[in-house]
Structure 1
């Protein structure tokens, strides 16, 4: 079977999250320390460990068929490359920041200012759409120090928790875009490669659905069963089984992780008892 070639970030959190996703998809990677290319043991796949900023060109040239990459990198360097899946991890935002001591009222305050960034295209397009012109200083590396050494009046960078900005006495003034890891596809992927990609996407979707859901088991008095079932947003409808104790039933269902506490509170108020919540490893719809 044709092997699909996937690029992932060489190091860092996105590397770790990407490898975990592949592992959760049941794909075992035979890679040693500092290896830049590795084969999967039980799936037709080769993994290329590349610098994040280089991945869009590798996709464009067809050196790799797919990649797990930050959406922000594609917006900056690969807007012509299609996205097959948004993966829901490695979330961040690309923001403009200024020293805390400087007053900021509106985007027009950046007119004619010096902005240090490693995302020049993103900044240029964002400012152009708002009628603002600025002097961009392209820096590959840590840009947070630029205002402190007089190199720039503001910066554009990735923000996750905001702790790096805080440490450098900076404040976030504009969020230009929100980003997460995505599965990107080369425009030169072969027909056989697309077939393997479909198999991979099936596994990925099963894992992502499971990550977003929780399996719930509870006991309910039969006289309150209808009310409790109406609260539960099951995949189709909850499974209801009689308990050994007369007048009681066991209810099983799946709920979305982001609705968890809201639903649990309603269930308790409706008379549910013995509520058990379990993570789900895979979920095939």
Structure 2
């Protein structure tokens, strides 16, 4: 049994019912949307472990092998990608199915209460099909004139959001799950999305401390061309505008533009 449909419909119902995000203060830039989502789980009366520092996913259901990672995005603003920090997105983690909840809210609200503008709840495998990678930080000592400075390798991952990957998600409320995933009968299918694995992937990188240049090493992907099929759904009564997958070239162009904008700001 999956709780995904019920959670999605609870989010849609709350948005339609004008259940607002409540920011505790101007410095609350992380937990306001997370708290809004927590209220949806509480409404469903499902038991869950509360988010903690460095826990993944944010909300882990107690009686079900499911969890929800929550990402709030200011709109207009950064929406093409998001910081994964030290956890690469995946669809399964420690035997638990992982779902991502992306919600956009006004970037400059006129108060401490404001609406969720649109929302995508997607299975983690829509963002990344591999669930075998294990992140580890490493370090070495020996840098500097006296050879006693420690260098820490702390990787930061940045992944595209569903708003960047799929046309038709903006200004709507959409559920995206693998083909064959259990969904409630009253959800309306609005799209079939096929993601294909890349021909090559990165297996190593090196950083030249003299030139500040980064180099990557690639190998052929043994699953090159493998297709992962997903279905997009909307709640009954919501608009049925189609959801389609953007081409990889379109996605990369948008991500490059976002990264260039950040470089200009720096």
TM-score by length of 2: 0.25
Determine which structure has greater relative contact order: mean sequence separation of CA pairs < 8 Å that are 6+ residues apart, divided by chain length. 1
More helix by share: 1
TM-score by length of 1: 0.24
More strand by share: 2
